[in-house]
Chains A and B, each alone.
Chain A
């Protein structure tokens, strides 16, 4: 990528005047869909249009956690298959995605939280997902530096351990997918912005970009945080989305001390130790919509306090870097996946909030099937847009939280 070396995804392709499919957004979902369209459905004439550079959005900013311990019947099978795909994709792309299945431990700080986890564990086990409830002593065995005494403001009551989850190198996924897609003939146009989507008699006909017009019968809106503004602005379709900034950070590198991803809803915090030794941590979302991508002193303080409470050995450790990205949140914390409605050839894959990394590969796989055949695969059917009108929201949140304006 530097000096005279070519980018992994080839030299800058020419912008054709027509493509079989145009994908708006060079994020995880856009690139995954493009890859599977070209690799599995033999559609070679595809463009990914990215206004900045691939991975600029949530794709390059997330904390790379993958898991399949969701709550609802609709979500569980999708994430289960998503988790199983990492090793498969590593082989298929011939690219080291650094899947590290260290397991996720969710802490419960009350009887009520344990009860909710009991239900969640049973639902996940019903789908054959590797997950179990653990008591306070087992939490300590998994994470020796965890404070399980009565000293913290919210003492640990137990938890839910999901050994199959872990982390995957998110940049590697972006690069691997881009390389794989380009190898199959996909054109990746960076620094190109889609400015309009054109329709005629209820069908998609073309998109306008700042580099020229592209004729196409199929468009995928995979613009991440900008998907809702784009949908309203370009097609007059409002989406039930709120765009919130979500922040993350890493500490200075430390000796190995944390073998699993640990998270606490009560402290509103999750953490894991990277292979470099840093503690990567995050969770906070701004409680009001904004597109700023900025960190706040309020949150840095919150994060330091929360970590110092349940992992007291981290007190005094320094944060080294912090960053933020945007999350497109829906009221039921499930995505919006739809197609051919209200325009033939228009597809939507957005509303991924802070769970769009773990779902990217599997959704791309099914989205490609959807776009190639025009038929919605069963796996994606529950996520259609009409569910809001039909009052069929999914209960992905265990408890009402304070960070979405909808709750």
Chain B
């Protein structure tokens, strides 16, 4: 299904202009923590795969190049302003 995403700089655009950047996993662990294979692996590979609204990273790759976070409903493929909010 078609998806549009609102870039904070360019506004609402076709989803194919963007690159999905993964689930939001909080701040990147520090360098010493990252040398622990478990922490590194969790941060890099592991996902919740939420069937519902999740917070995630996107990059406007065919536009201004900005990285930003949005909430998106993975069951309906549409952007939400915040968890629990209606579609924007």
Contact = CB atoms under 8 A, between A and B. Distances in A.
B48 A238 contact: yes
Given A287-B19, A287-B20, A229 B50 contact: yes
A35 B1 CA distance: 36
Q: Tell me if A's interface is mostly helix, strand, loop or mixed.
A: loop
A239 B1 contact: no
Given A287-B20, A297-B2, A405-B22, 11 more contacts: A242-B47, A287-B16, A288-B15, A291-B74, A292-B75, A294-B77, A296-B2, A331-B45, A388-B41, A388-B46, A389-B41
B1 A292 contact: yes
A290 B50 CA distance: 9
B46 A240 contact: yes
Contacts of A242: 47, 49
A243 B49 contact: yes
B21 interface: yes
Contacts, number: 70
Interface of A: 226, 228-229, 232, 238-243, 287-292, 294-298, 331, 388-391, 405-406
Contacts of A226: 51
Given A331-B45, A406-B45, A289 B74 contact: yes
Nearest to A297: B2
Given A289-B49, A297-B2, A390-B37, A238 B42 contact: yes
B10 interface: no
Contacts of B41: 240, 388-389, 391
A238 B46 contact: yes
A238 B77 CA distance: 22
B19 A291 contact: no
